[in-house]
Amino acid sequence: MSRPAAHGRVRVGAVLIALILALTGCTGLPTSGEVFPGLEPGAAPDEPPAQYYAVAPTRGATPEQIVNGFIEAAISPLDGWETARLFLGGDFAGSWRPEAGVIVDAADARELQVDEEAGRVTLTVTPTATVDEHGSYATSSSGPIELSFRLAQRDDGEWRIVEAPEGIVLDQQQFPDVYSDHALQYFDPTWTYLVPDVRWFPASGNTATYVVRELVNGAPSAWLSGSVASAFGQDIKLDPDAVPVDTDGVAHVGLNAVAAGADATALGRMMTQLTQSLANADVRDVRLTIAEQPDSVVDVEPVPTAQTRPDSRPLVLRSGEFGLLSGGDLTPIDGLSDVIEDMAGTINVIAVAPDQQTAAVRQSTGIVYRVTAESPDQVDAERDDLIPPMIDPFGYVWTAPEDDPTAIRAWDPDLEPIPITGGLGDATSVREMAMSRDGTRVAALVTSGGQHVAVVASVRRDRTGRPTGLSEATRTTVLPHPGVSIAWIEDTRIGIVTGEDDTWYVVEQQVGGPSERSVAPTDTTTIEYGTADSAVRLRGADGLLYVRRGSSWQQTGAEVSVLATQMGTPQGAD
């Protein structure tokens, strides 16, 4: 057996670095292992994104070298992987579909078996993740798989590949340079919030076409299906099936004649989905046309949506007082702070709705309350060992017993329970759950098959926001130690604290992408959203608060008994 040889790669704009890379084959950024934050914003200019060029086949290359070169050529998606197609022969050069998917692996673990007499080469890879033809990313633990290639000699004696699997193979270090993430935007069932659905598309070429094609012609990721809404009905399609972007950064989106029947509200929602989905695709504006009026731009404005960003000040219970902490000052929440401060007993969990008029509170005794400015009212009084309660943006309080992840309930404003169908898959226990601030997704720390795992599921709701169930849970992260706390630190990222003894980590997991891990202070108890500059805030068992500055944790508060969950801020608030 032998391993693929590294081919030269050129990084645009840096001749010296390009020469070094061509000699060493060292490129890209790691997507696994421990990751530490870099410089503070503004400390140094951002480096331009990497651009790679693949190396064409050399004359007299062996079947092994041809397969090696073909796999390495996946680093350059320019012109439809033009260089990679040079390694292919006959009709296969035109019919091969690189966009069919990506296997993300560790290149140094690849192995080749060559049967030159039969013209067969078998490549063994161990996927760490996969990306399907729709751009959906999933971590993988499938173990080694074999990819088979058949080669034939041309009339000039040169070997070329005539059969190969669809899609490409990319080393995990190269993947984030060759592919970039984009959040397709859908609506929650009430048309109030935008809900991101992360996809990965080639970073070179017309990214806008990939994004809009999946948004308009495609469907939400399977785990979100049934929990989100789109203004693009199933009969509305792109026409033409491409989205050119002009030199002014304007994306020109054409829809078929079916869209002519959409009213102003539906068209406004379409425009909202388009502009927000293209926000990371070098697009400054969108011009929309409909097939029946190809020369007339549709005059429509995006519809307003509710924002989800919490207050950057931590919401805390400190020395018996509850409010937003800034320096040493605490600003109370009108009505809610007084009721929480007057509650008897010790409080260890608080989650506050975005209107700041309702909270879910748990005492150290395990009793859960729905708290308003009028009174605290106990919920779920008949069950023991309840995990920290959640509150969603519609004011429903969610509870579940630690030893029964299938027995989730939501409690309406009248304190009536709603059994939540679906549960958390094959989990045997649940430590903590977190609700996304748009109310469409939950993340949870569970035990499954003896492993400590973080999972996500989408929330089924009716048009009024009333919850009814969860989708099938999807694994995002297998944790090295027991999970301690989980939170939505951004709309597309969950933060997890995991640790035991003297080994503690923060895992920042992109939902639909890779994760990053950094060392956390020992005995961290809580993770929550931080600030616009530092997405993570931590509370330690000693009551200290931390945010990250550069590669270290900076203390920002003390004597905090509870770091509360903020589900947002009142709409219209600064």
Quick one: tokens of 59? 């004359």
What pLDDT, in 10s, does the model give residues 314-366? 999 999 999 999 999 999 999 999 999 999 999 999 999 999 999 999 999 99
Q: Yes or no: is domain 315-566 CATH 2.130.10.10?
A: yes
Question: Stretch 465-477: mean pLDDT, rounded?
Answer: 95
Residue 9 has pLDDT above 90, yes or no: no
**Which run of H or of E encompasses 82?**
helix 78-85
What pLDDT, in 10s, does the model give residues 132-170? 999 999 998 778 999 999 999 999 999 999 999 999 999
* Domain regions of the chain by residue span: 50-171, 178-290, 315-566
* CA distance to 7, 172, 234, per residue, from 82 (Å): 16, 22, 33
Across 418-455, b (16+ Cβ under 10 Å) vs e yields bebebbbbebebbbbbbbbbbbbbbbbbbbbeeebbbb
Question: Stretch 207-225: mean pLDDT, rounded?
Answer: 96
Question: Stretch 202-231: mean pLDDT, rounded?
Answer: 95
- The string of DSSP codes covering 173-223 is TTHHHHEEEEEEEEE-TTS-SEEEEEEEEESSS-HHHHHHIIIIIS---TT
Q: What is the CA radius of gyration of the chain?
A: 26
Q: Report how far residue 477's alpha carbon sits from residue 573's, in angstroms, rounded to the nearest whole number.
A: 35
Residues ≥6 apart with Cβ < 8 Å to 342: none
CB 126 within 8 A of CB 105: yes
Residue 459 has pLDDT above 80, yes or no: yes
CB 469 within 8 A of CB 460: yes
Q: Which residue has the tokens 């919490």?
A: 310
Q: Report how far residue 423's alpha carbon sits from residue 406's, in angstroms, rounded to the nearest whole number.
A: 4
Could you tell me which of 58, 59, 83 has the C-alpha nearest to residue 72?
Answer: 83
CB 507 within 8 A of CB 516: yes
**Which run of H or of E encompasses 323?**
strand 321-326
SS3 519: strand
**Dmax over Cα atoms in the chain, in whole Å?**
88
pLDDT, mean over the chain: 90
Residue 8 has pLDDT above 50, yes or no: no
Residue 42 has pLDDT above 50, yes or no: no
SS3 550: coil
So what's the pLDDT on residue 573?
A: 62
Q: Report how far residue 226's alpha carbon sits from residue 422's, in angstroms, rounded to the nearest whole number.
A: 13
CB 409 within 8 A of CB 380: yes
* CA distance to 54, 164, 502, per residue, from 71 (Å): 10, 11, 42
pLDDT top residue among 295 and 305: 305
This prediction's pTM: 0.88
SS3 354: coil
Residue 40 has pLDDT above 90, yes or no: no
CB 246 within 8 A of CB 252: yes
The fraction of the chain above a pLDDT of 70, given in percent, is 90
CB 72 within 8 A of CB 84: no
Tell me the one-letter amino acid at 343: M
Break the chain down into helix, strand, coil percent, rounded to 5: 15, 40, 45
CB 505 within 8 A of CB 481: yes
Q: Report how far residue 538's alpha carbon sits from residue 519's, in angstroms, rounded to the nearest whole number.
A: 12
